[in-house]
Structure 1
Amino acid sequence: MPLRLDDVERAAAAVLPDAVRDFVAGGSGAERTLADNRAALDRIRVVPRALRDVSACSAATTLLSRQVAMPVATAPIGYQKLVHPQGELAAAAAAKAAGVPFTVGTLSSFPLEQVAAVGATTWFQLYWLRDRALSFDLVRRAEAAGCAAVMLTVDVPWMGRRLRDMSNGFALPDDVVAANFTTGTASEAHRASPGGSALAAHTSTAFDPSLSWADLEELRRRTRLPLIVKGLLDPADAVRAVEAGADAVVVSNHGGRQLDGAVASADVLEAVCAAVAGRCEVLLDSGVRSGTDVLKALASGASGVLVGRPLLWGLATGGAEGARGVLGLLAEEFRDALGLAGCSGVAEARRLRVLRRASQDGTGVGEGAVWR
């Protein structure tokens, strides 16, 4: 039985084909931002409170006004069939069992309707497509399928230079498709080429790099669902997203897979939370690997977190049961961290103090230890 999510990652690496393992684990460029995401979370220290009654300690809370078992949702990840034949269906079943929202992506390997029918609270993630009519049709389908929110990803005008995928000439196998589209729409994603990523080539033709604030406002007018904007790092952009009608923002650098050299998500979380000043929910994405990380995010002002790669590790090692084990371990760690920090619930965790230490080379947020 794994005791840490790192154990699940090692087990997944042992069973996945090398190119798929690299696709899941890798970042862009020299992978500095990928590493910084972990380093930023590791720099945060929580200041526990003492003499608090934690005999009844609950991780339950709400996200977008819906009850959840813990302040966690799954991050949108495409093509989950790469790691297990049941892909998103198994992952959604795990999320349902864990009592957390499941985010089904535009590039899901099963149709969004089929994933939503699993019965988890389902959020639909939208990539803005050059075919605007198709973008809005996907949102209409998400509404009809009973999805609880729409999450617009705004940090992928095109796919970042993911050198592992380029070195591997990564392409989708024939049995993995973008199931939300008609047959043949994503055929380019199956064409391997030395020194290039077939997925990057496909997304460069499918995604619309002209996505603007006007488009976000149009999406807000077109859907009745709560709107989440994912991929913001600058507090000013978070404020503008709120003004455009966002119900939540996700502080994210896409798991270190887009701009290498972008700031770590955890390093700007507090600033984003301060800027939006409670006018929308704030979620942290990129690098979350433990229940203690969830506690750190809450103490830094977040409403909750998104968890991505660990879910795929669980899928790879045990399908729905493996993914359920990942979420179960995260829940166990989070409840343990809550109680040991002197918190009987999530609201108290958001009132904790944190110390944020400078990195060993003197960079990062603050010098020495900084109180919040």
Structure 2
Amino acid sequence: MHPGSAVPPVDLSSIVSVAQAEGEAAGRTPADVWDYLVGGSGQEVTLGANRTALDALAVVPRVLTGLSERSLHCRLVDGEARMPVAVAPIAYQKLFHPHGELAVARAAAVAGVPYVVSLLSSTPMEELAACGGSLWFQLYWLKDRSRMLDLIRRAEAAGCEALVVSVDMPAMGRRLRDLRRGFTLPADVRAVHFGEQQASRDIAAGGSSIASHTAMAFDPSFSWADLAWLAAHTRLPLVVKGILDVDDARQAAHAGVAAIVVSNHGGRQLDGAPSSVDVLPAVVDALDDSVQVLIDSGIRSGSDVLKALALGAHGVLLGRPVCWGLALGGESGVAHVLSLLHDELDNAMALAGCGDPSSIRQLRTLTPAARPGGRR
């Protein structure tokens, strides 16, 4: 059963913050699907650390700046965006609403933010391109290199503006909530970019069909040499997602990528990895302006976006909150969440004395011990 199929429509006007959308969506989503969405790996230490780090960070506002107007517009990778936000690659979005990725792509297009099409999308990229927004396409490294090339050519033909290469999944993290439930995709939800290549839905007790699928298709031997091969086989700018180590960030920059995403996969890979926010300042310091730095994992509000940019990021990728909106009302629900995020960021910028995203990067930040945060 899809969320919303047996419950009355939600009054979106009653939801006044992105954070509130989580609680509303939980009651409209099957328990196994909800666990799949909100859970992390292992004991979920890193999942919790993402929020702890963001909550602990303070931003020092500026006053008497003389600003009466603000603009949230910015450039992300090689394109324009109406705010420093892109929709993160999220697998199997039809789990949350029958319209799935189409609803999200349409809402992102209206909001003027890039939409990253997941390799594990349950809707073909060509249908999403017809929505008219800015599309990026996500790749994991596949054992079948000919299929990789086919997907790259399809992304180029569909008008995708960047390739986002997720590099943090040599194996899927042990997501215990899914394992306990033996989480299996419903019959009408599949990774359409794999054609008929699907993992069996008949899994042993304690297994996960998604873990089985990724183990079958993904190549754990992915290396820097493979990234160089990919760069030589596409005209699209590359975004490397899943960087936490400063040396890896430098090596990605040396490989000529357009951007990196500082990410611990939303706490779903190595449990015990640092929060994205904690490593962001060092990564920003290690790179010059030729490489944009984006961040995901734990972003839940406009204030969180402000904090990420104050630490030096150029933008954020928004993941789970998009699915909250999708579960609440399809395209309208996603549009509402993105509108709330825009309004929250605009208000935070006003209160911090910032007129545009670049000025946010000049703010000072403080840790709980009142030590200068980030690069300040």
**Shorter chain as normaliser: what TM range?**
over 0.9
> Could you tell me how far apart the structure 1 residues matched to 2:109 and 2:194 are?
25
Identify the residue that residue 37 of structure 1 maps to in structure 2.
Answer: 50
> Could you tell me how far apart the structure 2 residues matched to 1:194 and 1:312 are?
27
- Contact 1:53/1:344 (<8 A) preserved: no
Identify the residue that residue 50 of structure 1 maps to in structure 2.
Answer: 63
Identify the residue that residue 160 of structure 1 maps to in structure 2.
Answer: 173
| Structure 1 residue 69 corresponds to structure 2 residue 74 | no
> Could you tell me how far apart the structure 2 residues matched to 1:52 and 1:368 are?
24
> Could you tell me how far apart the structure 2 residues matched to 1:133 and 1:215 are?
13
Moved more, 103-112 or 1-10: 1-10
Deviations 1:35-83 (A, max 9, x none): 0001111121111111012211111111113111100001101100000
- State which of 260, 281, 288 in structure 1 corresponds to 2:292: 281
| Structure 1 residue 319 corresponds to structure 2 residue 330 | yes
Identify the residue that residue 4 of structure 2 maps to in structure 1.
Answer: none
- The aligned runs of 1:96-135 (5 Å cut-off) are 96-135=109-148
Q: Which letter does structure 1 place at the counterpart of 2:198?
A: A
| Structure 1 residue 250 corresponds to structure 2 residue 250 | no
Change (3 A) 1:20 1:192: farther
Change (3 A) 1:368 1:342: closer
Deviations 1:81-114 (A, max 9, x none): 0000110000000101111000001100011111
With normalisation by structure 1, the TM-score equals 0.95
- Contact 2:74/2:83 (<8 A) preserved: yes
Shift of 1:137: 1.1
> Could you tell me how far apart the structure 2 residues matched to 1:336 and 1:257 are?
31
Identify the residue that residue 216 of structure 2 maps to in structure 1.
Answer: 205
Shift of 1:277: 2.4
Identify the residue that residue 93 of structure 2 maps to in structure 1.
Answer: 80
- Contact 2:308/2:316 (<8 A) preserved: yes
Secondary structure of the 1:54 match is coil
Identify the residue that residue 215 of structure 1 maps to in structure 2.
Answer: 226
- State which of 301, 304, 308 in structure 2 corresponds to 1:290: 301
Secondary structure of the 2:192 match is coil
Secondary structure of the 2:151 match is helix
- Contact 2:182/2:206 (<8 A) preserved: yes
Consecutive unaligned residues of structure 1, counting only runs of 5 or more, are: 358-366
> Could you tell me how far apart the structure 2 residues matched to 1:253 and 1:81 are?
24
- Contact 1:232/1:251 (<8 A) preserved: yes
Q: Which letter does structure 1 place at the counterpart of 2:256?
A: G
- Contact 2:364/2:372 (<8 A) preserved: no
Secondary structure of the 1:250 match is strand
Shift of 1:192: 4.1
- State which of 174, 180, 186 in structure 1 corresponds to 2:198: 186
- State which of 360, 369, 372 in structure 2 corresponds to 1:370: 372
Identify the residue that residue 34 of structure 2 maps to in structure 1.
Answer: 21
| Structure 1 residue 225 corresponds to structure 2 residue 225 | no
Q: Which letter does structure 2 place at the counterpart of 1:237?
A: D
Identify the residue that residue 353 of structure 1 maps to in structure 2.
Answer: 364
Identify the residue that residue 271 of structure 1 maps to in structure 2.
Answer: 282
> Could you tell me how far apart the structure 2 residues matched to 1:277 and 1:39 are?
28
> Could you tell me how far apart the structure 2 residues matched to 1:10 and 1:278 are?
39
> Could you tell me how far apart the structure 2 residues matched to 1:234 and 1:26 are?
24
> Could you tell me how far apart the structure 1 residues matched to 2:202 and 2:337 are?
33
> Could you tell me how far apart the structure 1 residues matched to 2:204 and 2:320 are?
26
Give the length in aligned residue pairs.
361
> Could you tell me how far apart the structure 2 residues matched to 1:238 and 1:198 are?
32
> Could you tell me how far apart the structure 1 residues matched to 2:180 and 2:67 are?
51
> Could you tell me how far apart the structure 2 residues matched to 1:129 and 1:65 are?
26
Shift of 1:347: 1.4
Shift of 1:368: 4.7
Moved more, 113-122 or 260-269: 113-122
Q: Which letter does structure 1 place at the counterpart of 2:344?
A: E
> Could you tell me how far apart the structure 1 residues matched to 2:113 and 2:159 are?
16
- Contact 2:284/2:313 (<8 A) preserved: yes
> Could you tell me how far apart the structure 1 residues matched to 2:367 and 2:223 are?
34
Identity of aligned residues (%): 54
Shift of 1:198: 1.2
- Contact 1:170/1:192 (<8 A) preserved: no
Consecutive unaligned residues of structure 2, counting only runs of 5 or more, are: 1-13
- State which of 164, 171, 191 in structure 1 corresponds to 2:184: 171
Deviations 1:142-185 (A, max 9, x none): 000000000000001121000000000001000001111222x0
| Structure 1 residue 331 corresponds to structure 2 residue 333 | no
Q: Which letter does structure 2 place at the counterpart of 1:272?
A: V
> Could you tell me how far apart the structure 1 residues matched to 2:340 and 2:203 are?
37
Change (3 A) 1:317 1:199: same
Secondary structure of the 2:325 match is helix
> Could you tell me how far apart the structure 1 residues matched to 2:178 and 2:354 are?
43
Q: Which letter does structure 1 place at the counterpart of 2:347?
A: D
Q: Give 4+ residue runs of structure 1 displaced > 3 Å after superposition.
A: none
> Could you tell me how far apart the structure 2 residues matched to 1:333 and 1:192 are?
43
Q: Which letter does structure 1 place at the counterpart of 2:65?
A: R
The RMSD of aligned alpha carbons is 1.0
- Contact 2:22/2:324 (<8 A) preserved: yes
